[in-house]
Structure 1
Amino acid sequence: MTLILVIAITLIIAFFLSKFLFKGHQAKNLPGGSLGYPLLGESLSFRQAQKQNRGPQWFEERVSKHGPVFKTSLMGSPTVVVTGQAGNKFVLGARDDVLATKQPPTLATIAGKENIFELTGSRYKLVKGAMMSFLKPENLQNIVKHMDELIKTILLRETENKDTIKGVATMKKLTFEIASSILFGIKNEHTTEALSDDFSLAFKAIPTLPFNIPGTVYWRGLRARSRIVNRILPILKERREELSKGKLSPTSDVFTCLLTLRDENQHPISDDMIIDNYFTLIIASHDTSAILLSLMIWKLSRDSQIYNKVLDEQMDILRKREEGIDDGLTWAEIHKMKYTWRVAQELMRIIPPVFGSFRTAVKDTQYGGYDIPKGWQVFWMAHGTHMDKDIFDKPTEFDPSRFENPSKPIPPYTYLPFGGGLHTCIGNEFAKIELLITIHNLVTRFEWSQVHPEEAITRKPMPYPSMGLPIKIKPRKL
């Protein structure tokens, strides 16, 4: 009873507080829509729609009622949602002094307030430049062999003496180990496993409401973040010492890139900033990659025509190697996997791993004839243009060939699996290489089928096969 009373009083206070806070906005020309309940907004109904894979319909219902610009309240903040190519361009092309890349409170707290999505101006350019120096194509060429060997080892280990595996869990483990080893040079198995467990808890806290109450998902996520920080700090200390002794170079991994970074005053960036960007890059390189790989396995299991074309392309790479030579994949061979990548592109069009993202209005601004008050969130979503029949012919059909010499070019700000504008995902090439190497090893070494052929997709908030994608798997007979 005491807990119920506390919640009731909190909601009543929040109701009157929200009335007070939004009083000044009543004179503004806000778009149509509803801010929902105090504190909760419309977050619960949106989350429920996402779980049922009805996120697009949730937005479409509001667009049909209020138009392509509407207001709501998501993840604890009043939000203006913009849709369509013009809306995407407005958000993704805006200057930082108009719309900042400040994320919802939960993501900002879990990832840290100095992560790259929260930075602006010179600090953003500084950190992005350091990360890009490690992720640029000429550097990625040098990690192909290492990544191929690592993926091969993980797949053989995870399938050893097993005839059934959970596809989603396996892909999450694989992508986390790749990110930890290749991006951050963390190779200790115990440390990697402990970090993986805590990141799993941290990820679950991001789409929740920011109530730091013992026992809640958000509370557990914050505690997981603290444990991760305590594990990373000694690693940073060790890397700093190795750099000073000349045992490591600034390009050894992302940690060393950031540790050797200097601002305009030649001061090193703080450990807090390094750790916050470690969080962000792990989130970006691990969870979204695991999603796409899981969806690829799911799609190839269900569509024999697509599967056979992918298999033929990958086997052709092996057939064209010099007889007896198996030194692993090369950069040139990865560039031959054109059809496999088109399948991934089409999957990301129909089921975008990132549904959309938030910005925050730094000052009062306008869009589409409406006011957007300072401090409000602005949200864009990929679905609005990915499934637009005026942009993609027969958008509900799965057709990888639409990315092969399309009859009409895809307009800017309409196909956005990696975002767009200044804040396009910096790890998109890394993700592409990781996916192609993993699929190559899967289809050339294994055969598999779904345990539940009718398994649906759900969002939590990322899109995953709803049952974890259990698959029956066995070595391929060559």
Structure 2
Amino acid sequence: MDYFFCFLPLLFVVLFSCHAFLTPIIRKHIPKATRNGENGRGISLPLGRTGWTVIGETLHYLSEIQSGTLENFVTDRMNKYSSKVFKTSLIGQPMAILCGPEGNKFLFSNEKKLVQVWFPGWSNKIFPKSHNISNNEDFINIRRMLPLFLKADSLQKYVGIMDLVMKQHLQKNWDGDHVQVCPVVRKYTLALACRLFISIDDPREVEKLAKPIEDIVAGIFSGFPINLPGTALNRAIKASKEIRVSIESIVRQRKVDLMEKIVSPVQDILSHMLLTVDGSGQHLKTVDISSHLLGLIFGGYGTLNGTLTFVIKYLAELPHVYDEVLKEQMAVTSSNKRPDNLLGWEDLRKMKYSWNVASEVLRLTPPGVGAFREALTDFTYAGYKVPKGWKLHWTAHVSHMNPDYFPNPDKFDPSRFQGNQLAPYTYVPFGGGPRMCPGNEDALLAILVFIHNGVTTFRWAKVIPNEGVFNDPLPRPAHGLPIRLHRHDFAVSESIF
């Protein structure tokens, strides 16, 4: 049982007390002009409300996330205050939320100029290096290195490996008439991340990381991140230490293997990191590499889980879409001339409709609620002053669900992505600019490989036709999406195993 619930009544007493007793003190020391929304020089702060002292509007924000209506939190305030920007207070921080494609473009285009990435302080306890120094030199060097491995042209040689991992996963975890999608998808994404990033392919070694990774997920997305024994955050911190110790052992062994030329210097991200040097020409420390790798494994694991689950969900609910995907994937299978029957880069390039389906899934269920930035200096946006040190927030949900950009936004319609008809910065499931998710190309390939193997092996149906979806904060089916499997007579041969 999560001991956090034992402290919940006390937490609300403390928060209410903070609100009651700190508000007069804080107001006494805030200049009147600032309290009234002025910066003292005639330019107003963004309009909006900041809610209670300390907690601000965090509870309302979290409730909208849990309801799957985050866009309502933003659009309601856009209608009331400004369609461009409004102020609020979230997780104890004064915050400006920039709205729509214009806001996305501004934040993506001004990274390290007017804004920089920001994470809540408690996340640094889980990722003490990879996130805490995300604006410092060695992390920047890591981000410069990642495209060498994670861009499409670099990933081409890994398509066959990804396909083999998926085929092995299907054989081991989809062997039967029924499957619960959420847990088996988590096994696949973790196995894939471990294989591509640190070359772990032993299922027993991957399984050792599964529980700690789940504890980290729960801690990162905890509504009340309090580090007390028994809380989600406390378990996540312990899990992070456990995984980093395991990865450090792998790093030390890899150093020996590289020196003895047992492994390739370009076989995975770990080898790339060991060859990366910082601004002073020094190689990264083992402890730092382990933290960076934990962040990457977590990112690769978390980004894919929801997307693959909802691919299965929508294909079960929309037979006509499934049929089109199957038709395309069978054509890919028929044209595959590789002796090992594994997918190649040229096969993935033929999956245009399947990628449109995946894109529509990403539009309706983005892999994150958005991201935060911090103002590096005072600046003016849409006629309002944003002070230095304020936090900024953007979320894909607002533009993804805007009928001006996506007519009938609740409808699943892959044709939206045919051609080049999307307005810039309206479709941003992976962010944009220098801080775009570095694994977006990796995710694209993994999704297509997953779709290909799934539909060419099975047709499926939901066990619970009206299964609900809840958000914590990412959306997931309430009962893990149990499905009935019907294996095709023409399923791909398993001779490669």
- Please, what TM-score do these two structures have when normalized by structure 2? 0.88
1:372 paired to 2:386: yes
Question: 1:2: how far off?
Answer: 10
User: Contact conserved, 1:114 with 1:272, CA < 8 A, in 2?
Assistant: no
User: Contact conserved, 1:70 with 1:82, CA < 8 A, in 2?
Assistant: yes
Aligned to 1:78: 94
What is the aligned-residue identity percentage? 32
- C-alpha offsets along residues 423-447 of structure 1, whole Å, 9 cap, x if unaligned? 1121111111111111111111112
1:256 paired to 2:261: no
1:137 paired to 2:155: no
User: Contact conserved, 2:19 with 2:54, CA < 8 A, in 1?
Assistant: yes
Aligned to 1:90: 106
Structure 1 pair 267–400 and aligned structure 2 pair: CA distance change class (3 A): same
Question: 1:118: how far off?
Answer: 4.8
Aligned to 1:103: 119
Q: Report matched runs for 1:353-432 at 5 Å.
A: 353-406=367-420, 409-432=421-444
Letter aligned with residue 92 of structure 1: F
**SS in structure 2 at match of 1:92:** helix
Aligned to 1:23: 30
Aligned to 1:463: 475
Q: How far apart, CA to CA, are the structure 2 residues paired with 1:108 and 1:411? A: 36
1:183 paired to 2:189: no
Aligned to 1:228: 243
1:453 paired to 2:465: yes
Question: 1:111: how far off?
Answer: 2.7
**SS in structure 2 at match of 1:105:** coil
Q: Report matched runs for 1:50-449 at 5 Å.
A: 50-68=65-83, 69-115=85-131, 118-120=133-135, 122-160=137-175, 162-208=176-222, 209-321=224-336, 327-406=341-420, 409-449=421-461
**Correspondence for 2:53 among 34, 38, 44:** 38
User: Contact conserved, 2:108 with 2:433, CA < 8 A, in 1?
Assistant: yes
User: Contact conserved, 1:102 with 1:118, CA < 8 A, in 2?
Assistant: no
**Correspondence for 1:8 among 13, 35, 41:** 13
Structure 1 pair 2–238 and aligned structure 2 pair: CA distance change class (3 A): closer
Q: How far apart, CA to CA, are the structure 2 residues paired with 1:136 and 1:5? A: 49
User: Contact conserved, 2:15 with 2:55, CA < 8 A, in 1?
Assistant: no
Question: 1:296: how far off?
Answer: 0.5
Q: Which runs of 4+ in 1 moved over 6 A?
A: none
User: Contact conserved, 2:195 with 2:201, CA < 8 A, in 1?
Assistant: yes
Q: How far apart, CA to CA, are the structure 1 residues paired with 2:276 and 2:480? A: 40
**SS in structure 1 at match of 2:122:** helix
Gaps of 5+ in 2: 1-5, 491-497
Question: 1:180: how far off?
Answer: 0.5
Q: How far apart, CA to CA, are the structure 2 residues paired with 1:253 and 1:448? A: 35
- Please, what TM-score do these two structures have when normalized by structure 1? 0.92
Question: 1:94: how far off?
Answer: 1.1
Q: How far apart, CA to CA, are the structure 2 residues paired with 1:297 and 1:169? A: 13
Gaps of 5+ in 1: none
Letter aligned with residue 436 of structure 1: L
User: Contact conserved, 2:86 with 2:96, CA < 8 A, in 1?
Assistant: yes
Structure 1 pair 477–214 and aligned structure 2 pair: CA distance change class (3 A): same
Q: How far apart, CA to CA, are the structure 1 residues paired with 2:392 and 2:357? A: 31
User: Contact conserved, 1:418 with 1:428, CA < 8 A, in 2?
Assistant: yes
**SS in structure 1 at match of 2:199:** coil
Structure 1 pair 410–108 and aligned structure 2 pair: CA distance change class (3 A): farther
Structure 1 pair 173–412 and aligned structure 2 pair: CA distance change class (3 A): same
